[in-house]
């Protein structure tokens, strides 16, 4: 059994609060240290103030295979500025002193192993993270690491793809904590003009497998698309489109984009 913790309550509370307002939770993703290292504090504060229910904070990694060119570039540019896991944890701790918006650290396994799994769990929890999404740690891949996460106060968020077999989907859904991240399409992350057909049916099928909320991401690039997803999912994750907006338009435009996403999500269920 996973440890009962403030992380459980925080992620659950975020989804419950959104549900009570008749809407999906908004979950923007940003890469720590991008576009400029010194912008990250202002970006995190801006996302919280713009209506993010949960923030996914990406840890820059040199080989981000699950990510498309936009987030890959953001990782490389952040690394060039000296951003690594220790700096991300310090930045999160400073943010937590100012805001209470739940944060999920989005990372790959290698930075965690390099930092030390137990040290990572302790540092991330102390800094105020509520969860972790490890893109390259499938359910059952390493029972030792998974058990250490289960005993920690951090939710290990799981990914589920549309190509997953029914038996494997049940296994992943049973292991999900905090929320289940459903990938809206195959391939890597990146903004797209159209969402996958049949998404509503797929989300309903996934929702039947797990008691935790189901958030949908990968390819959501406009407020209109966010509204479409918000009508069928418990949460909407927007990553590449926000990362690109921050790169080209800076903090103010990025925050304005998230405000537009929040407005679209709020209006989705009423439409």
Active site residues: 56, 67
Q: Is the CB of residue 184 less than 8 Å from the CB of residue 199?
A: yes
For residue 18, give both structure tokens: 């959104």
Q: How many helices (H) and strands (E) does the chain have?
A: 11, 8
What is the sign, positive or negative, of the torsion defined by CA atoms of 29, 30, 31, 35?
positive
Alpha-carbon gap, residue 43 to 53, rounded angstroms: 15
Alpha-carbon gap, residue 235 to 18, rounded angstroms: 9
CA angle (260, 23, 191) in 5-degree steps: 45
The CA R_g of the chain, rounded to the nearest whole Å, is 17
């Amino acid at each position: 059994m996973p440890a009962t913790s403030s992380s459980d309550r925080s992620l659950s509370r975020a989804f419950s609060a959104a549900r009570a307002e008749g809407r999906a939770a908004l979950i923007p993703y940003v890469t720590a240290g991008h576009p400029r290292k010194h912008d990250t504090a202002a970006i995190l504060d801006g996302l919280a103030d713009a209506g993010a229910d949960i923030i996914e904070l990406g840890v820059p990694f040199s080989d981000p295979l699950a990510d498309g060119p936009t987030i890959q570039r953001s990782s490389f540019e952040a690394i060039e500025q000296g951003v690594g896991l220790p700096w991300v944890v310090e930045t999160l701790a400073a943010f937590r002193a100012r805001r209470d918006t739940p944060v999920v650290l989005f990372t790959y396994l290698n930075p965690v192993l390099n930092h030390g799994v137990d040290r990572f769990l302790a540092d991330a929890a102390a800094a105020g993270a509520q969860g972790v999404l490890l893109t390259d740690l499938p359910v059952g891949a390493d029972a030792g690491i998974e058990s250490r996460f289960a005993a920690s106060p951090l939710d290990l968020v799981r990914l589920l793809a549309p190509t997953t077999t029914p038996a494997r989907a049940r296994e992943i859904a049973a292991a999900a904590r905090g929320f289940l991240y459903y990938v809206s399409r195959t391939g890597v992350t990146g903004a797209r003009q159209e969402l996958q057909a049949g998404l509503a049916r797929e989300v309903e099928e996934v929702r039947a497998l797990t008691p935790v909320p189901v958030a949908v991401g990968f390819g959501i690039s406009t407020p209109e698309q966010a509204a479409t997803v918000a009508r069928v999912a418990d949460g909407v994750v927007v990553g590449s489109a926000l990362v690109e907006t921050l790169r080209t338009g800076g903090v103010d435009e990025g925050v304005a984009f998230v405000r537009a996403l929040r407005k679209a999500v709020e209006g989705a269920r009423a439409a």
